[in-house]
A and B are shown apart, each in its own frame.
Chain A
Amino acid sequence: MGGVEKKKYERGAATNYITRNKARKKLQLSLADFRRLCILKGIYPHEPKHKKVVNKGSTAPRTFYLLKDIRFLLHEPIVNKFREYKVFVRKLRKAYGKAEWTAVQRLRDNKPSYKLDHIIKERYPTFIDALRDLDDTLSMCFLFSTFARTGKCHVQTIQLCRRLTVEWMNYIITSRCLQKVFLSIKGIYYQADVLGQLITWLVPYQFAHNHPTDVDYRVMATFTEFYTTLLGFVNFRLYQTLNLAYPPKLDSKDEAELRAENDEAYAMDSESYLEKLSALSASLARVVSSSEEEEVELDQFPVEGEDVEQLEARQKEQLQTEAHKKIFEGLKFFLNREVPREPLAFIIRCFGGLVSWDKSVCIGGTFDVTDETITHQIVDRPSLDKQYINRYYVQPQWVFDCVNASLRLPVEDYFAGVTLPPHLSPFVVEKDGDYVPPEKLRLRALQRGEKPENAESSEEEEDEEEDDNDEEEGSDDEDLDEEEESDERNLKKMEQQRAQGKALPVKVTAGKVKAENRARSEQEEQAEEKRLAIMMMKKREKYLYDKIMFGKKRKVREANKLAAKRKVHDETTKAEKKKKKAKK
């Protein structure tokens, strides 16, 4: 045993991590600046694999950053800017104290500012990386764009967010890449497929925010600062890919129309442009003017190892997506005043429909209520005074459901004043064993092209069918769930019967021929075999197995619970219906 004694915690994991306070001291930053830097640079704490080793033997709860990350921050030019800003604030305060207003003005004019361009390039080396991380960006920007112009943050930030989100929506409309929409109680979820990346964002409903007091808006503002820069660059690039002018310009003829139509009194010139853009009704100007959208026929390249069937399937899928993009093509929508204009206009335009609204709602309406060619009027009130014969009056959910179903659903269920069918989340992908609500099943049938039965006449039948389905499902689930238990129970019963048979006073009764259910017995045998094998499992494996099985069983239980709830609900509604009928 020779050599220098090696000290503990000077090698390995302990040297790869650094606590937050140490990192802060190393960077010579205040906690607030450190936080800002972390947010902008996307540095986050890591959970070490062996926490106690990293914590040098202590078990105190600490957050650890990677030492590499912190070293990386050391060379960040923004850190210097932070220090400059600190100095600036100090000078400004002094000037104020001395009432040197010229100095204040001068300082104000030379306020240090920084740009985040290089950070964005650094964090997202490729454009696809940036797109991948766009979910939070969009949600945040949409939230900030709905803030009131006073109060919680700078007006410029809010305006910038609004501008960027409008640009984004315009891009989505032009590229027609919206895929799913969902009306949740939190807001409206949108999912778009931008250059092969699925991007989901959430937009709150248009209401004034009730600003909570326990939220640190500085943190959110820092995030927004980064996100606006990112979204700006992403928008620029996206517009470029579509040969659109950036900053967006309205198509010249559309613009002329708009101008002709709207009186100048609507808004200031500087503001009206953004307003017109955010109306989402006009198409955008292109850099290279293409008169008509030329559909480029893509050549088919058979992928190696793909047989004809697969090829066909792929083609079919492509066709379907094409059709999905055009579900509202040729339809003319008019939005009533009570309907949220922006989301609906956005969605309808995304899928090729024409849309307009009342002049009092927003700038940019292209046709009037009286237009005879309107096919659908979207209404969210129980009844309407004046109705036109040649158009459907539907509730807004119809639009959303159509988009999610990727086909035009029958409008009957969505007429004004009608109790709406449930609105299902398009994001749920049911695996086998999961609970599937009956509405979804019906929708699938519709998608497969099966004709739905005439709604009113066969409703009851349908219900019954559903019930049957439910029952089947229930029994299946039970099988899955309590297979073993039931087996055991059966065995027990048999044994008991046998035992009692022995115990009975000696008296021979004619026995019944018991039908041997071979499949059943085989199943039982297998189940028992399994149970016996489980008994022989090692302790650790048994634990893991139990855990997995517990999870599985819980899932099944939940699905069963939902099914049972549905059954109860359906029964009660049916009973009520019958009662009503009887009354009649």
Chain B
Amino acid sequence: MRGKAKSKTTDRLKRPAPKEEAVQQIEQLPLFSDEAGPDGSDEDDEDLTDSEESIYSGLEDSGSDSEDDDEEEEAEMNSSAEEVKSGIETAPQGQDATGKLSKLQSKRQKSTPVKVVKGELEKQPGSAALGDEYEQDSSDEEDIRNTVGNIPMEWYKDYPHIGYDLDGKKIFKPIRNKDELDEFLEKMDNPDYWRTVHDKMTGSDIRLTDEQIDLVHRLQKGQFGDVGFNQYEPSIDFFSHETMIHPVTNRPEHKRSFIPSLIEKEKVSRLVHAIKMGWIKPRKPKDSMPQYYDLWAKEDPNSILGRHKMHVPAPKLKLPGHEESYNPPPEYLLTEEEKLAWEQQEAEERKLNFIPQKFSCLRAVPAFQRFIHERFERCLDLYLCPRQRKMRVNVDPEDLIPKLPKPKDLQPFPTTQSLVYRGHTNLVRCISLSPCGQWLASGSDDCTVRFWEVSSARCMKTVEVEGAVKSIAWNPNPALSLVAASLEQSVVVLNPGLGDVLVSSVTEQLISSYVEPEEEKTQAVQWVVPETEASEKGLRLIIRHPKSVKQVTWHGKGDYLASVMPDNGNTQVLIHQLSKRRSQNPFRKNKGLVQCVAFHPSRPAFFVATQRYIRVYNLIKQELTKKLLANCKWVSSMAVHPGGDNVICGSYDSRLTWFDLDLSTKPYKVLRHHKKALRGVAFHKSYPLFASASDDGSVIVCHGMVYNDLLQNPLIVPVKVLKGHEVTRDLGVLDVAFHPTQPWVFSSGADSTIRLFT
């Protein structure tokens, strides 16, 4: 509202141009202009006009200028409607109605030129002096005859009057009281009945004129009351942008606008005084340049650093190398491939964060594109990067290498390959040496057992057998010349007939001297004496097993023979007695798959290696004495130290574990020397040596010294890596065996050779 008022006041300066047209509209508005003129009586005219004027003046005084185009129209509409109504009401009383109309007319007359209205406004006090203004108490515009007000008229039903006029006199009801019949008669008789309206306030009937009816009709239709009113007048802005020559008001300037303000004078004098006294100073221009001074003038070198102990100063940027030069030596430039690789690398992975370039002269050097980036990254590093103090271990790698006795001091051990035994046509699975050390027996997948003379590498004898030889073992008893070999499902005992004839004949006698016992015991295996044809080849005994035999091994005395059948349920291990040709199953139950077995060299103990454990049984007490944890996935081979207190076992996961039985059931040492699975391990009978054969084609000979002193742990030093075997079909060296007396080692490989290293 306020805003609107404001706008109006401002608009006032721009004098509305089309004012006169609006006025014309007003002129056209009033009703009954034709009739009002002749009917208008001068008596009533005056007071009515006065009341009208008061309304106008009131509007004018309140400041709400209703000269606004739309508002004007609206107001006009309202008033016209009211007037119509009142006109209707007062019609019968002729004078009143005409008075009303004349009022309208007068209004028209008054508003014809706005100037005139204004003039009248100016002269308002004068017009008030006429005294007619307050003749009517009510501010209502209505022409009031009855002063009862807007009440239900039933209240006067029982009275002879229906109200009071302005002088307080009763207004009496019309004497004639119409009843239904009268009404009906009137309806029938009076042709103007339809246009007669009953006025409740006065109790009189009013006959509407033609114009009034016409007006009613048009209002009923929703049309404008005025016939000549064009509702589609082109709208014209009352206030326009054009500045008129005439001001909105003609009011003269007030006096105080000419007289200098005392208050302001006081204010100014106060300020002047303050300036004089130096209380107010002009604002100093700000010195944007910082002031520098000797900040470290009172520097105390012993003062505690501002930072705590945890402060980590930011590392400095790396200084540039030759490659960053604008003209680097040619070797620092990247080749095409290197450039390509550089581009494909992630930005963080790059070793250099730029591509070295060469420019022929300084003027050809362009700006570095990522200069701001790099500075920014440095900034980020400085305040965002978590810092940590890292102790750089400055270790000399040589110090990490353990100090071991020199291999030179640990001689003798095999160092060079001296003989190769060729003859087998398939991989040589197993080798064994005669106790005298002169002969070597080997079993191969080409279904032969060959006997070699160690010193000449000559194949002395070849025995063809029924299947691939999995395991071979020379009888350790030097008084016998017997070799046990495991083929498919049987173990054969051969007499190679090499060497001393006496020994051979003794052996023959021993075997033939066997007398079958009276009562035949049912055995798990069959002892078969081979036929002549086979015996000519040297086979002396065949022990037929229910399942394939993986390993065969002799007891130290040479009478007992153990065989392993991993697939055979609970009887995986059998111990055969040669002299009595008897076999027995030492275990009621076998846990796990037995991989290999071994007899203790001196005591009645028996080692059984399953996949993960090595169990040590006492054969006399028939009980388990120890269970060694091999710490590996799958044991492949096992060897017992001639002293009997140490065991080594090789595993398919390329580890060799050394157990000291006196020490613990856990490995004393685990050696990971080989790169591939271990196939065989062996101890030397007299020298402190052991060897391991692996699929990576190498045999590693280690010095394994076991001391008599129980407090001293065994000393293990690798002394030689022997290479010679070729890896064929992913298999390297399959078995390894030491010479019984010499520091020589034999190895058999998948390349169907046997090699001797001395």
Closest partner residue, chain A, to B358 (CB atom): A422
Binds A, one of B35-43, B87-95, B100-108, B369-377: B369-377
The verdict on B268 contacting chain A, using a C-beta distance below 8 Å, is no
How far apart are B295's CB and chain A's nearest CB, in angstroms? 4
How far apart are B668's CB and chain A's nearest CB, in angstroms? 14
Pick from A47, A143, A420, A545: contact of B372, CB under 8 Å:
A143
Contact assessment for B721 and A182 in the assembled complex, using a CB-CB cutoff below 8 Å = no
Closest partner residue, chain A, to B327 (CB atom): A423
The verdict on B368 contacting chain A, using a C-beta distance below 8 Å, is yes
**A184-B324, A186-B324 known; A420 and B292 CB under 8 Å?**
no
Closest partner residue, chain B, to A152 (CB atom): B372
Query: Contact size class for A?
Result: 35 or more
Contact assessment for A212 and B295 in the assembled complex, using a CB-CB cutoff below 8 Å = no
Assembled-state Cα–Cα distance A210/B357 (Å): 20
The A-contacting residues of B in range 681-724, CB under 8 angstroms, are 700, 716-721, 723-724
Contact assessment for B380 and A219 in the assembled complex, using a CB-CB cutoff below 8 Å = yes
- Residues in B neighbouring A143, C-beta threshold 8 A: 371-372, 375
Contact assessment for A109 and B331 in the assembled complex, using a CB-CB cutoff below 8 Å = no
B475-494 to A contact mask, C-beta < 8 Å, 1/0: 00000000000000000000
B346-367 to A contact mask, C-beta < 8 Å, 1/0: 0000000010110111110111
Assembled-state Cα–Cα distance A125/B365 (Å): 41
How far apart are A179's CB and chain B's nearest CB, in angstroms? 12
19 contacting pairs across A/B (C-beta < 8 A): A123-B307, A125-B304, A126-B296, A127-B299, A133-B314, A143-B372, A185-B356, A185-B357, A185-B368, A204-B367, A219-B379, A395-B361, A428-B319, A437-B322, A530-B401, A533-B401, A552-B397, A562-B332, A563-B331
Pick from B289, B319, B329, B361: contact of A427, CB under 8 Å:
B319
Assembled-state Cα–Cα distance A534/B308 (Å): 44
- Residues in A neighbouring B403, C-beta threshold 8 A: 533
Contact assessment for A437 and B329 in the assembled complex, using a CB-CB cutoff below 8 Å = yes
The verdict on B175 contacting chain A, using a C-beta distance below 8 Å, is no
- Residues in A neighbouring B362, C-beta threshold 8 A: 183, 339-340, 380, 395-397
Contact assessment for A562 and B331 in the assembled complex, using a CB-CB cutoff below 8 Å = yes
Contact assessment for A200 and B319 in the assembled complex, using a CB-CB cutoff below 8 Å = yes
Contact assessment for B310 and A182 in the assembled complex, using a CB-CB cutoff below 8 Å = no
The verdict on A207 contacting chain B, using a C-beta distance below 8 Å, is yes
**A237-B296, A565-B330 known; A186 and B288 CB under 8 Å?**
no
Pick from A212, A420, A535: contact of B360, CB under 8 Å:
A420
Binds B, one of A114-122, A299-307, A359-367: A114-122
The verdict on A1 contacting chain B, using a C-beta distance below 8 Å, is no
Assembled-state Cα–Cα distance A138/B504 (Å): 98
- Residues in B neighbouring A544, C-beta threshold 8 A: 393, 395, 400
Pick from A38, A46, A124: contact of B386, CB under 8 Å:
A46
- Residues in A neighbouring B360, C-beta threshold 8 A: 419-420
Contact assessment for A381 and B327 in the assembled complex, using a CB-CB cutoff below 8 Å = no
How far apart are A545's CB and chain B's nearest CB, in angstroms? 5
The verdict on B387 contacting chain A, using a C-beta distance below 8 Å, is yes
Pick from A397, A503, A536: contact of B420, CB under 8 Å:
A503
Contact assessment for A535 and B397 in the assembled complex, using a CB-CB cutoff below 8 Å = no
How far apart are B397's CB and chain A's nearest CB, in angstroms? 5
Assembled-state Cα–Cα distance A136/B387 (Å): 17
Assembled-state Cα–Cα distance A186/B354 (Å): 9
**A160-B289, A187-B371, A495-B724 known; A425 and B329 CB under 8 Å?**
no
- Residues in B neighbouring A126, C-beta threshold 8 A: 296, 299, 301
Contact assessment for B325 and A183 in the assembled complex, using a CB-CB cutoff below 8 Å = yes
Assembled-state Cα–Cα distance A397/B326 (Å): 10
Binds A, one of B113-121, B404-412, B554-562, B626-634: B404-412
Assembled-state Cα–Cα distance A229/B291 (Å): 9
Assembled-state Cα–Cα distance A233/B720 (Å): 70
The verdict on B144 contacting chain A, using a C-beta distance below 8 Å, is no
Contact assessment for B386 and A45 in the assembled complex, using a CB-CB cutoff below 8 Å = yes
- Residues in B neighbouring A133, C-beta threshold 8 A: 313-314
**Known contacts A397-B327, A425-B319, then 10 further A-B pairs from the complex at CB < 8 Å, ordered by chain A residue:** A63-B386, A156-B288, A183-B326, A183-B365, A187-B368, A205-B368, A214-B373, A423-B327, A424-B328, A544-B395
Pick from B307, B325, B374: contact of A182, CB under 8 Å:
B325
Contact assessment for B723 and A492 in the assembled complex, using a CB-CB cutoff below 8 Å = yes
The A-contacting residues of B in range 667-691, CB under 8 angstroms, are 671, 673
Contact assessment for B329 and A424 in the assembled complex, using a CB-CB cutoff below 8 Å = yes
The verdict on B188 contacting chain A, using a C-beta distance below 8 Å, is no
The B-contacting residues of A in range 458-487, CB under 8 angstroms, are none
Contact assessment for A45 and B384 in the assembled complex, using a CB-CB cutoff below 8 Å = yes
- Residues in A neighbouring B292, C-beta threshold 8 A: 232-233, 235-236, 246
- Residues in B neighbouring A246, C-beta threshold 8 A: 292
The verdict on B316 contacting chain A, using a C-beta distance below 8 Å, is yes
Contact assessment for A46 and B327 in the assembled complex, using a CB-CB cutoff below 8 Å = no
Give 4 closest A-B pairs by Cβ, nearest first: A207-B367, A427-B319, A47-B388, A566-B331
The B-contacting residues of A in range 2-41, CB under 8 angstroms, are 35, 38-39
The verdict on A575 contacting chain B, using a C-beta distance below 8 Å, is no
Contact assessment for A45 and B387 in the assembled complex, using a CB-CB cutoff below 8 Å = yes
- Residues in B neighbouring A123, C-beta threshold 8 A: 306-307
Closest partner residue, chain A, to B285 (CB atom): A109
- Residues in A neighbouring B385, C-beta threshold 8 A: 44-45
- Residues in B neighbouring A532, C-beta threshold 8 A: 404, 407, 717-721
The B-contacting residues of A in range 187-222, CB under 8 angstroms, are 187, 189, 200, 204-205, 207-212, 214-216, 219-220
The verdict on A80 contacting chain B, using a C-beta distance below 8 Å, is no
- Residues in B neighbouring A237, C-beta threshold 8 A: 294-296
Assembled-state Cα–Cα distance A541/B365 (Å): 50
- Residues in B neighbouring A314, C-beta threshold 8 A: none
Pick from B313, B372, B404: contact of A536, CB under 8 Å:
B404
**A47-B387, A495-B417, A549-B397 known; A183 and B327 CB under 8 Å?**
yes
Assembled-state Cα–Cα distance A578/B335 (Å): 24
Assembled-state Cα–Cα distance A420/B671 (Å): 60
How far apart are B154's CB and chain A's nearest CB, in angstroms? 63
How far apart are B220's CB and chain A's nearest CB, in angstroms? 56
The verdict on A317 contacting chain B, using a C-beta distance below 8 Å, is no
Pick from A68, A216, A419, A533: contact of B376, CB under 8 Å:
A216
Assembled-state Cα–Cα distance A39/B378 (Å): 12
Assembled-state Cα–Cα distance A419/B364 (Å): 13
**A185-B365, A233-B295, A237-B296 known; A44 and B327 CB under 8 Å?**
no
How far apart are B658's CB and chain A's nearest CB, in angstroms? 12
Contact assessment for B290 and A47 in the assembled complex, using a CB-CB cutoff below 8 Å = no
Assembled-state Cα–Cα distance A66/B296 (Å): 28
**A125-B305, A380-B361, A395-B361 known; A537 and B295 CB under 8 Å?**
no
**A46-B386, A204-B367, A562-B331 known; A68 and B373 CB under 8 Å?**
no
Contact assessment for B372 and A422 in the assembled complex, using a CB-CB cutoff below 8 Å = no
- Residues in B neighbouring A395, C-beta threshold 8 A: 361-362
Contact assessment for B400 and A209 in the assembled complex, using a CB-CB cutoff below 8 Å = no
